[in-house]
Structure 1
Amino acid sequence: MTVLVLTRPMDATADLVIAELAARSVPVFRLDPRDFPEAMTVTAGIGPERPTWRGALWGQHRDVALSDIRSVYYRRPGTHRLHPDMSDQDARWAQAEARAGFGGLLYALPCPWVNHPHRNARAALPPVALATAARCGLSVPRTLITNDATEAREFVSALPGEVAAYKALGTTHPSDHDDRPQALWTSQVRPAEIDESVRRTAHQFQEWVNKAYEVRLTAVGHSLFAAEIHAGSDAARLDFRADYDSLVYKPCQVPERIGRGVHMLTFTFGLQYVAMDFLVDSEGTWYLIDVNPNGQWGFIPDLREPITRALADLLERARP
């Protein structure tokens, strides 16, 4: 039985899990959906005599039967690459057909996913994630989502220090120079800085928490792995992703109340894996600010190996 890994060719995080599975002699089929249809073939059938899809995926160097897939690790797959001679109209149609056909066959696999992309998509929406976290007993900062500049200014004016954290609802923004996505870091905003351009889309403003440190908490199945993140620069204090070189990590225990809330959240979303970011203030209160069902974890040295093993355990033990 084979573990199917859906990711791009250059993915150091997936490499860790694949290496661990290989060390356990667990077969792995690494696949980037970008290879379909130009460098990959799929054929599958279903009918009265076979109530599940039967068929195979053929790549350039190997193949795998759909019935042999025991579990799926969904990391960072690319989008389908189409023939360059297709017109824009035909390419849009072919892209949609590839997602529905190739993607649909994979999504229909009767096996465990870490995580199924449909579950990822729901949990990755900040309004859904924050509301679910609050219902699960986790503390979240006061948050406003609006495209009304007046409402935004009034919200920020009512916060302590009249300052808010401005955070993108998504994770990336097109570059000014090309189409490659670039990260948008968290920034501070004050009422006078909010203008009528807010009207052009939805914006998220969040109460500024004076943190003592942050915690990256990673849940894998029923196991929780957490580390304090101490910022060593002004940029990292605003958003630790802006300056990884300045960070100091310290593995930590998860308070019982936080653990209960995290387990309830993962159960609610049906997630086997999730990375969560908390701000911890000087009084020890944990505020959840981000839920990322496909977040990174290899950047924390002391947790890299145990999280790798935990993910490999999930994928190895799974049975269709």
Structure 2
Amino acid sequence: MTVLVLTRALDASSDISELTERGVPVCRLDPGDFPGSLTLGARIGPGVGHWAGTLRGQHRDLTLGEVSAVYYRRPSPFRMHPGMTDQDTRWAQAEARAGFRGMLAALDCVWVNHPSRNAHAELKPISLATAGRCGLSVPETLITNDPAEARAFVASLPGKAAAYKALGPGGPTIYDGNAHALWTTQVRAEEIPDTVGLTAHLFQQWVPKAYEVRVTAVGHRLFAAEIHAGSDASRIDFRTDYDSLTYRPCPVPGPIATGMHALLDVLHLRYAACDFLVDQDVGRWYLVDVNPNGQWGFVPELREPITHALADLLEGKCP
């Protein structure tokens, strides 16, 4: 019985040291080390429904049959040999995804979460529609590449303002030679340029909020904390100014808990961190983001109980 943690080298949220304290073997590997310092050998044959073989890393070997659970966090991209041409590098990366990641994805064990489930849930059109079907409130949202429709949508909203946010989970983009993070911004109709026509964009009703809530689901356990902004920047996107934030653990209202459990069941997730805006007028909770691989360590009071619940989940002690 070994828990396999798949993530990059610098990832504090992958630290499940409690498993080691419980005597559960843990093997941490970064798939990005393949094929340079991580070697795979796996076989399958007639009448066999699983792969047998070994992962050989810098510090230890792991027999595939040992793996009882996989914690899939944030693996880095495959790093191919620098001497390869661009065309050969693209081909080799595609082969690595199909072979190495494909073989790992075939492991029949507990996944938190399986990469195919993460990829499915990370698509905002899917996660927001699923949340609505599960009884959770979602703000009025438009996805479009039509600038005129975007302007008309924003102009029709209460307050004549919308939140613009990236559709994908990607990191900073390069513009004018510099890296720019795609934070949530507030926009009005007259501020929407014609360049919206170049790709898909998401515009969401601006909800005047009292505060935000991060609800972290680990199996059937829910952990919630209010997030109170202490600066103008963090009131628009709390990720821009963590130093100004204050946190307060809070209960999850019954209808929200029911919706969260249904959401994870439908999306086949064992873990998710969901963000809600709490309306300042009537206290209504609006779900705005489903993060199947979201951070969980930044709320101090919840760090220990979430770590404990994750360890239980990976050890097979809870559904």
TM-score range, shorter chain: over 0.9
CA contact 1:6–1:77 (8 Å) conserved in 2: yes
Give the CA deviation at 1:170.
1.6
Q: Give the TM-score normalised by the residue count of structure 2.
A: 0.96
Find the aligned partners of 1:98 and 1:218 in 2 and give their Cα distance.
Answer: 32
The share of aligned pairs that are identical, in percent, is: 65
Structure 2 unaligned segments of length 5 or more: list them: none
Partner of 1:245: 243
Partner of 1:292: 291
Partner of 1:64: 62
Q: Give the TM-score normalised by the residue count of structure 1.
A: 0.96
Partner of 1:206: 204
- What SS class does the counterpart of residue 268 from structure 1 fall into? helix
Residue 144 of structure 1, aligned match among 134, 142, 145 = 142
Find the aligned partners of 1:177 and 1:64 in 2 and give their Cα distance.
Answer: 45
Partner of 1:14: 14
CA contact 1:44–1:53 (8 Å) conserved in 2: yes
CA contact 1:123–1:293 (8 Å) conserved in 2: yes
Amino acid at match of 1:190: R
Find the aligned partners of 2:54 and 2:39 in 1 and give their Cα distance.
Answer: 8
Find the aligned partners of 1:93 and 1:68 in 2 and give their Cα distance.
Answer: 31
Partner of 1:163: 161
Amino acid at match of 2:298: F
1:231 aligns with 2:229: yes
Give the CA deviation at 1:182.
4.9
- What per-residue deviation string (whole Å, max 9, x for no partner) do you get for residues 11-52 of structure 1? 11112x1x1111111111101011111111111111114321
Alignment of 1:105-124 (within 5 A): 105-124=103-122
Find the aligned partners of 1:190 and 1:49 in 2 and give their Cα distance.
Answer: 62
Alignment of 1:77-156 (within 5 A): 77-156=75-154
1:197 aligns with 2:195: yes
- What SS class does the counterpart of residue 48 from structure 1 fall into? coil
Amino acid at match of 1:118: S
CA contact 1:111–1:318 (8 Å) conserved in 2: no
CA contact 1:8–1:32 (8 Å) conserved in 2: yes
Find the aligned partners of 1:206 and 1:51 in 2 and give their Cα distance.
Answer: 46
Give the CA deviation at 1:175.
2.9
Partner of 2:311: 312
Alpha-carbon RMSD across the aligned residues, in angstroms, is 1.4
Find the aligned partners of 2:71 and 2:317 in 1 and give their Cα distance.
Answer: 11
Find the aligned partners of 2:261 and 2:269 in 1 and give their Cα distance.
Answer: 10
Find the aligned partners of 2:305 and 2:233 in 1 and give their Cα distance.
Answer: 29
Give the CA deviation at 1:204.
0.5
